[in-house]
Structure 1
Amino acid sequence: MSQESQHGKWTLSDSDDDDNIVPPTPPKKPNLKPGPERKATAATPVLKPKPPKAKPEPVPEHNVKPEPPIKTEKVSAPPMGSEARQAAHLRQSNPVKYENSSSPAVKRKRETDEGGWDLSSSDDDEAASSAPKIKPKQPSSRSPARKKAEDKRPPSPHGASYYKEEPSDFFEANLSAMNGTYRFYLNKVSGIEKRFNTGALHIKDILSPMFGTLKESVQFNYCFDIPWMVKQYPPEFRDKPVIIVHGEKRESKARLIQQAQPYSHIRFCQAKLDIAFGTHHTKMMLLWYEEGFRVVILTSNMIQADWYQKTQGLWMSPLYSRLPEGSPETAGESPTHFKRDLLEYLRAYRAPELAEWIERIKEHDLSETRIYLIGSTPGRFLGRDMEKWGHLKLRKLLSEHTCLVQNAGQWPVIGQFSSIGSMGLDKTKWLAAEFQRTLMTLGTAGSSSSSPDTPMLLVYPSVDNVRTSLEGYPAGGSLPYSIQTAQKQLWLHSYFHRWKAETSGRSNAMPHIKTYMRVSPDFSQLAWFLVTSANLSKAAWGALEKSNTQMMIRSYELGVLYLPSAFNVSTFPVEKNIFPVSSSSTGFPVPFDLPPHRYSGKDRPWIWNIPYTQAPDTHGNIWVPS
């Protein structure tokens, strides 16, 4: 069965299951030598392109067959993680330079531009892996100071001139410039104007002594680069006990343990993943100080690249003080029941390694917390347990703690994410039937404040967003929307809007942050705001089963929900200018521009496992995944 669309002509498989999840294939050794085209097998999806046009469009089409990889120097093994990250790693190690249409190389490519393309079958919800380990070619005349600065950064195949020198205070947060009202912060980004990093945080800031004298910590995440992580702790805290909570199994678990061998202070806690194709996607820090206790919930993996030139977000709790000895477990609770929900989330791991931390949290006063916790844990849930996790937990909180607003049906819902799962042949399979209904809930009794005309806007980077980003095409390794998933849900692409973040100076820093919100028709007020690890997928948010009597969730996720009632206001005003940050600002710092801009006729959603060869990225390269 074939289908015409703005993305070219695709050959679809016979399977149209709305939850057809394909396990990722093992990492392949890159084919660095030109050779005959591989034949497709029964298990290999094939992209059948149209014959090339005489005058191709300036935006890369999704039906271009890649040129055989150029023979290059031998590279190191690809990093752990999805195939999208591995492709980015390979292309950073062996960038393919753009050549204009008159060059012999492009002419040869066009002459052989027939037949299919052997695609990967990975449908991972997120591309996250350890940072690339490739050492780029460096000029011979580097000073020791410059070499030391470069060693702190992800290796670049583009030479030393690719990096801008950071100011001396790049890794130092200015507490007076931080807005403590919402405790929501963006990350620092390398290579942008200094004012757009004012009030933003780097991981070194979070772990620095200015926030407390650290005694122990727990790092929950999807992907780790342990040697890099250890270096982010200041020297005086670098040997303090750390527990790593992860979801790795088999070979990837062995590699993770191997990374930690030089560090005797690191222990591991493996998250139980009892349902196939689930991931441990939660990103959280538990920090225990001599002065108290703190929670950080964030969107960044524990790898260097995620803290360099991507847009990330985090919530940092207040410093929680210790309760008087003998206080009951219910003491120190917040009006948002954050303490209860955090303890329940940690107990869901059923991990003895976390038992001591559960007891520590009970002993602290978390009453200052003004956000709600939205978590997902793997399982099938019945009755009241259905509302403990995933999008039904969000629906319950929106029902109980928000109020209907005037003309509520005209208030758009916005979802912004970095990966997309399989949602079915049309919107009624999950998106509209479950998830959109949840996002549109306002007021008591679970009333859905929607109408047939209520807009739903989905923000996801276009090909041109990725091409013109700070990282160029390799940034797409963190946006793993696959051709296998995209070709089954072309209907979804009519919802898409470009990533644009000029007010935060981050338009060229591709988003790994995930946010969801309800906004007024003039985009000046928020009914609520959520920052989370959860992408747009059923695995992350859960899906109803058995005539809506059971909720099934595959993955661990965690986020924080901001509701106006917890801040004694009716709505949050949208901050027009996020940076430079003012401690007196009352507006909410939405991390991208409102209103979002709908895709133009030439825009395409970024799809990681097809080539883009008709226009160069910011480093003069094209994208040919292997």
Structure 2
Amino acid sequence: MLQEGAHGKWTVSSSDESTEENSDNEKPSTSSLLHAARGRTSGPQYPCSEARKAAHKRKASPLKFSDTSFPAEIRPAEKQRPSQEGLGWCLSSSDEEPEDQETQMQKETVKEEKNDAPKEHSLNFHKENELSENLKAEEYCEAQDTWDLLNGGNPFRFFLTKVRGIKQSYNSGALHIKDILSPLFGTLLSSAQFNYCIDVEWLVRQYSQEFRKKPLLIVHGEKRESKAELLAQARPYENISFCQAKLDIAFGTHHTKMMLLLYEEGLRVVIHTSNLIAEDWHQKTQGIWISPLYPRLPQGTTGSAGESETNFKSDLISYLMAYNSPTLKEWIDKIQEHDLSETRVYLLGSTPGRYQGIDKEKWGHLRLRKLLKEHASSVPAQESWPVVGQFSSIGSMGADESKWLCSEFQESLVATGSDVTTLRKYDVPIHLVYPTVDNVRQSLEGYPAGGSLPYSIQTAQKQLWLHSYFHKWSAEVSGRSHAMPHIKTYMRPSPDFQKIAWFLVTSANLSKAAWGALEKNGTQLMIRSYELGVLFLPSAFGLDKGYFHVKGKLLSESNDPATSFPVPYDLPPEQYGSKDRPWIWNIPYTNAPDTHGNMWVPS
């Protein structure tokens, strides 16, 4: 049937319409496993979403833009922006062609991956003429004093990931996973990696050579064939063990992204937004919070010793206990043995289940509501402050905004320590930042970047009302406008966007599966997925004004790292224009080439 709205038209057959509530499209697929079983090793050998599979295929077998009316010299998208008016959105076939070539991404990262493999024959690697400008930049970054980076001028301990292909100055202060797992952060004894999408072989290579045989626990949510493949990936590594997260509610995922790093010197917690695959650490905008190095408590210490003012230690233990896994007991004990009192952020997680009573406020958006009511300072006229959500995937919101977005979810986002019962929630502007088709087309990766933005046509065509809230991805402030976001952030800025009352970086996309939805007349919260993030509140950083400045906004205070928060994208956000459309991964884009001169046909 034909669907038409303010952002285009498309054709959808009834058999293609999705009934899944969780439309994050971050669900494991086993087709790559079947390819492996048949002897084809060209595709990704880790479970991934259908959208990521399509991106791999298009990198392996790109479709060149065929419109000869455009001179070759202006085909790259940076130099040519044809109108998209009248561009039809046609749902592609679900049948995928076999992948027959190694992906370009694999080719692009082969140098990176060889660098850290044992190589007696490449000691002069850094002298080779083929060393790219970006590798030189990365080498320069690695020469920085990482210890100062962690403990010096970044009181928030919030970092972005390094991006290849941008100016070196924009990677200053950014981190790669190799930096995090390097000896500069500590002498590693063991580690635990919590994640959704995992390439075991690649992950092992990110550890420094001397740490690759240290005990490694991988916490995942895979089942059946996907689980078998994950275990098969790890078979060559005797030091790797697994913990399977229970997912008893349909369409839930283990989406949390966290590292627990135990050192001779202490313990560190890393909460971030990247999958454990090469693509997520290459040319995407990702967020990382890195804890201080937590020292061991004196032997025999018991009770609440080592707790922070933000209750981070007990909240982290509660989160790990929610897995109900004996495998994690060892890590819970390790956390108990360390002093986490220097933590200044609040932990905000989601775990699958149906929660009532006081348990209803332990997870999801009701957890955010509780934290804001108890710890966020009231600011004059704050009832007019908007809310901003930024994410890389979108679930089903319902038939209109009153079903979830502008009711229970918005009520949590606008909560403060003051009485907001008289607040008319619809008066609070909501700005949702999600890439347009042109954002993706003009990105460093081109159209394949959209494989990490799995908003599907089946979901989009049921909620056209949502698109009026959309704003473009723009990140000139961090030099990452062309590095598509896989980071997810939420915040409450002032109307002039010079201040923010709070800031959250999390794995949670805009979905009820991630944040939870009320049931039974509001007496029960149902959550499908595991998610984890950290909340930054001014009061936890000794600021009594109730807000952070946005870095660079106020000349008088923009250089003060203690009061200026580094928001990773441009404020104020720019609303979609009449010709802008949200990126939808499973429809073709053939009217204009991307930065590599290619089209996007996902099937």
CA distance in 1, matches of 2:92, 2:479: 38
Q: What's the secondary structure of 2:534's corresponding residue?
A: strand
**Residue 574, structure 1, aligned to residue 540, structure 2:** no
TM-aligned CA distance change 1:19 to 1:258, over 3 Å: closer
Contact residue 177 and residue 583 of structure 1 kept, 8 A: no
**Structure 1 residue 597, shift from structure 2 partner:** 0.5
| Alpha-carbon contact 2:190-2:262 (below 8 Å) kept | yes
Q: Secondary structure at the match of 1:91?
A: helix
Change in 2 beyond 3 A, CA 1:163/1:95: farther
Where does residue 471 of structure 1 map in the other structure? 445
How far apart, CA to CA, are the structure 1 residues paired with 2:89 and 2:411? 43
1:419 and 2:385 are equivalent in the alignment: no
Q: Structure 1 residues 346, 372: closer, same or farther in 2, change over 3 A?
A: same
The one of 128, 133, 136 equivalent to 1:166 is 136
Q: Is the 8 A contact 2:30 2:226 kept in 1?
A: no
Greater CA deviation, 6-15 or 250-259? 6-15
Aligned to 2:63: 96
Q: Once structures 1 and 2 are overlaid, which stretch shifts more, 430-439 or 473-482?
A: 430-439
Which one of 579, 602, 619 corresponds to residue 579 of structure 2?
Answer: 602
2:405 aligns with 431
Is the alpha carbon distance of 1:396 and 1:117 closer, same or farther for their aligned partners in structure 2, counting shifts above 3 Å? closer
Same amino acid, percent of matched pairs = 60
Greater share of helix:
2
Partner of 1:619: 596
Code of the residue aligned with 2:601 in structure 1: it is V
Q: Counterpart in 2 of 1:483?
A: 457
Structure 2 equivalent of residue 277 of structure 1: 251
Q: CA RMSD in A?
A: 3.1
Distance (Å, rounded) in 1 between the aligned partners of 2:16 and 2:56: 31
**Which of 551, 570, 577 is the matching residue for 2:525?**
551
Work out whether residues 534 and 557 of structure 1, in 8 Å CA contact, stay in contact via their aligned partners in 2. Answer: yes
Contact 1:298-1:533 at 8 Å conserved across structures: yes
**Contact 1:75-1:93 at 8 Å conserved across structures:** no
Report the CA distance shift for 1:334/1:147 in structure 2 as closer, same or farther (over 3 A). closer
Gaps of 5+ in 1: 30-73, 104-112, 123-131, 140-145, 154-159
Task: Tell me the secondary structure at the aligned position of residue 189 of structure 2.
Answer: strand
The 5 Å alignment of 1:486-505 reads 486-505=460-479
* CA–CA distance in structure 2, aligned partners of residues 98 and 595 of structure 1: 34
The equivalent residue for 1:53 is none
Say yes or no: does 1:373 pair with 2:347: yes
* Alpha-carbon separation, structure 1, partners of 2:299 and 2:106: 59
2:353 is equivalent to residue 386 of structure 1: no
Q: Which moved more, 1:444-453 or 1:547-556?
A: 444-453
Contact 1:186 1:314 in 2 (8 A): yes
Change beyond 3 A, Cα 1:350–1:435: same
Task: Answer with 371-380 or 205-214: which moved more.
Answer: 205-214
C-alpha displacement of 1:451: 4.6
* Superposed CA offset, 1:23-75 (max 9, x none): 9796669xxxxxxxxxxxxxxxxxxxxxxxxxxxxxxxxxxxxxxxxxxxx98
Q: Structure 1: how far apart are the matches of 2:573 and 2:337?
A: 44
Q: 1:7 aligns to what?
A: 8
- Residues in 1 aligned to 2:149 and 2:530: alpha-carbon distance in whole angstroms: 33
TM-score with structure 2 setting the length: 0.85
Secondary structure of 2:190 counterpart: strand
SS at match of 2:4: strand
Q: Deviations over 1:418-447 (max 9, x none)?
A: 000011110111111111111011124565
AA in 1 matched with 2:4: E
**CA shift at 1:256, angstroms?**
0.7
Q: Is the CA contact 2:43–2:103 (under 8 Å) kept in the aligned structure 1?
A: no
Unaligned runs of 5+ in 2: 33-39, 71-86, 117-129
Specify whether residues 446 and 285 from structure 1 end up closer, same or farther in structure 2 by C-alpha distance, changes over 3 A only.
farther
C-alpha distance in 1, partners of 2:89/2:270? Answer: 50
Instruction: Tell me what 2:74 maps to.
Output: none
The one-letter code sitting in structure 2 at the alignment partner of 1:202 is: H
Answer yes or no: is the 8 Å Cα contact 2:250–2:528 preserved in 1. Answer: yes
Q: Secondary structure of 2:359's partner?
A: helix
Q: TM-score, normalised by structure 1?
A: 0.82
Amino acid at match of 1:166: K
User: How far apart are the structure 2 equivalents of 1:379 and 1:373?
Assistant: 18
How far, CA to CA, are the matches of 1:137 and 1:368 in structure 2? 40
Where in structure 2 are the equivalents of 1:70-469 lying within 5 Å? Answer: 76-77=42-43, 79=45, 80-100=47-67, 117-120=91-94, 134=103, 148=111, 151=114, 164-167=134-137, 168-175=139-146, 176-177=148-149, 179-444=153-418, 447=421, 451-469=425-443
Aligned length: 551
Counterparts of 1:86 and 1:187 in 2: how far apart (Å)?
Answer: 23
In structure 2, the CA distance between the partners of 1:28 and 1:208, relative to structure 1 (3 Å rule), is closer
Distance (Å, rounded) in 2 between the aligned partners of 1:372 and 1:161? 42
In 1, Cα distance between equivalents of 2:290 and 2:105: 35
Q: Compared with structure 1, are the counterparts of its residues 257 and 402 closer, same or farther at alpha carbon in structure 2 (3 Å cutoff)?
A: same
Shift of 1:209: 1.2
Q: Deviations over 1:503-541 (max 9, x none)?
A: 100000000000000000110111000000000000000
Indicate how the Cα distance of structure 1 residues 286 and 449 shifts in structure 2: closer, same or farther if over 3 A, else same: farther
Matched, 1:592 2:569: yes
1:490–1:347 CA distance, 2 compared to 1 (3 A): same
Name the CA distance, whole Å, in 2 between partners of 1:114 and 1:573: 43
Q: Report the secondary structure of 2:164's partner residue.
A: coil
Compared CA separation, residues 136 and 177, structure 1 to 2 (3 A): closer
